[in-house]
Amino acid sequence: MSLQQRLTLFFVLIVILPLAAAGFVVQRVIGDEIGERAIISLRPALDATVSIYNARFDVLDRRVRSAVADDTFPRLLRDKDRAGLDAYLSRQLADTADVDFLMVVDGGRVVGSAANPANFVQGFEVPSMAQIARAQPGAGRGFTRTPAIAVRIAGVGTVGSLIGGFWIDERLLTLSGTDSATDLSVVADGTVIASTAAVRSPVGMDVDFTDDFTATLDERVKAAATELENGVGIVASTPAAPFEASSRRVLTSLLVLLGLALLGTTALAYLLARLISQPLEELAQGAAAIAEGKFDHRIPVRSRDEVGQLALAFNDMTARLHDTVGQLSHSRDQLQRAVRRVGDTLRATHDMKQMLESVVNTAADALEADVAILWSFTPTRDELYGSIARGIDIDALPRLGIAEGVVGFVAERASSIVIPPPHGTQGLPRPARHEPSFPVALVTPLYSQDRMVAVLALYRTDPRKHFGDEDVEMVNFLAEQCGVAIENVLLHEEAQRLSLTDGLTGTWNRRFLQMQFRQVLATATRFDRPFSILMLDLDNFKQINDTFGHQKGDEILIEFSRRVKLALREVDTFARYGGEEFISLLAETDVDGAITTAEKIRDAIRSEPFGETPERHVSLTVSIGVASYPQHGETYAALVESADQAMYRAKQLGRDRVAVAEKLKLVR
């Protein structure tokens, strides 16, 4: 996507997104307002119906009490004249429109009744007089009734009770005189049993008597309800379609307005983006022409504003580049050819020291450095020492801890440092007290297989000759080549290692131990550091071979080697010395540290039996002899002899123990 397209898109989004959000809010507000007005319009119908219901109930109560007070009614009840009672009750119903049924109850039985027809939906079972008589006073499923009023005769006592009521049906709903847009329904226990809407059968409805709701009657409706009592309520509803259509019309209008705004905004954004991007396109074309070597290319200057000034500066730059590129190109090609030749040499050699010396010398020559030092890690990787140096006495270089001075800072942070930096001095570490200090320095880490292996430091004594970005790029290129070369050397050493390991246990053999001993001894001699040797021998191993066979013995030797390796550090060397005897070389470890390691190994061997299953478990112990440089010897033969004699003394003292060698006067 071009800059002009991005600017157009961003401008459109900046304008349209707020408009769209505002339109969405407006649509929601208008929709909610339309729905709220629909609900408000239902409340008067509900209030009117409830008022009619209450007034009618008051009339009902008075009519029932007046009927009981009539002299004729007690006489008919006393004579048990069923036909006369029914005729009397029918006349009472005929006199008023506010009562729908009357019944006489004696001893829980209906002994006389009269009722007007009810107007419920088809399929609703109208309650019988007996069911109404058993119901509680007040509203019920389709009716409301008065309490039973006792009929008493002087000298005789109570001869029965009179109950009156009216139907809560469509006829009651039509009395409110609501407008044609509002329907009223009677709901009993969640079922519509009567309605002014076109409801043909009882319909289930989830009614909320505390808030308005949306439901389905003969169509989708918005509704509000008022509960009478006992789960019976009046629901006022109006079709939701007109209000939803109004909301859709509002949404459609907003979308049309947004579409028109989008078209206008897009046109305006395109013109603005074109005004901004055209000078940039001309600059890009000019830069592309220069990249192709067309240094005579010029950008048209159309104004004297900032863009015009940029065009003038660009044209001046192309004229100067023409003079300098030719000079730089020749020297750059020569330097790259030299570096590539060195890279080929680095990849071809298998001598680590020779390869690293080549890296140091090449970096010093390519960057015209007066001093170059390769700082290597000690075996424990907690300090750095000068392993290769040019232009300075390597023996005068101190050890530097991680994060100590400039070199330690690079080793800790794994990032290059240029002193003085081309972009300010904030955050630079200070050189350590004994670290070489020169006015100009470039320090960078060297990697192999994603692991830092050394730190290369280049120094210039002339404070005016600063290292630049091109020097950093050159050193990084050499560092990459060095990493490839180190990997090649490590692969070569790995091939040699395969010939220096024990075929059964996979540990190093005696030959490799001797090679490692020479390196550790050289480091210890130079820096006056101790190291130690452990001689290990499994106790009573011959009995294992005699009892379980040599295959079981081999399995135990493999497991023994695994446990010992887990107890040692990565920098320690563990080798098979012969049979069930093993030897370990602990770099930079004194007597106390060697004893601690030996006890750790002894505990790892005796703490858990050998074998895969309980039936084949074998418990073993190990005797360990400890000898340290220089108090127990200064040569390979002397230290091994001291450790071996200490190990035999451990066996003589009862096995399963660690013994330290005594100072030897005789070295063989």
Which are the catalytic amino acids?
580
C-alpha–C-alpha distance, residues 410 and 418, integer Å = 11
Look at residues 604, 578, 20, 616 and name the one whose alpha carbon lies nearest to residue 262. Answer: 20
Is 253 buried (19+), middle (13-18) or exposed (0-12) by CB count in 10 A? Answer: middle
- All residues at 6 or more sequence positions from 126 whose CB lies less than 8 Å from its CB, including other chains: 118, 120, 142
Extract the runs of DSSP E, i.e. beta strands, from 321-411: 371-377, 383-390, 400-401
Distance, CA of 192 to chain centre: 51
Which H helix or E strand runs over 49?
Answer: helix 3-69
C-alpha–C-alpha distance, residues 443 and 369, integer Å = 12
Distance, CA of 2 to chain centre: 34
- Count each helix (H run) and each strand (E run) in the chain, helices first: 15, 23
Tokens of 430: 């200070």
Identity at 147, one-letter amino acid code: P
| DSSP assignment of 146-196 | PPPEEEEETTTEEEEEEEEEEE-SHHHHHTT---TT-EEEEEETTEEEEES
Q: Which residue's structure tokens are 């009478």? A: 228
Q: Which residue's structure tokens are 């076109």? A: 198
User: Positive or negative, the Cα torsion across 198, 199, 205, 209?
Assistant: positive
Q: Is the peptide bond before 421 cis (omega within 30 degrees of 0)?
A: no
Beta strands 622-629 and 658-660, pairing class: parallel
| DSSP assignment of 418-461 | EES-TT--TTPPPPPTTS---SEEEEEEEEETTEEEEEEEEEES
In this structure, how many other beta carbons lie within 10 angstroms of the beta carbon of residue 99? 24
Tokens of 325: 């590129």
C-alpha–C-alpha distance, residues 296 and 289, integer Å = 9
What is the CA angle 268-274-276, rounded to 5?
Answer: 110
Helix-strand-coil percent breakdown of the chain, rounded to 5? 50, 20, 30
C-alpha–C-alpha distance, residues 164 and 62, integer Å = 10
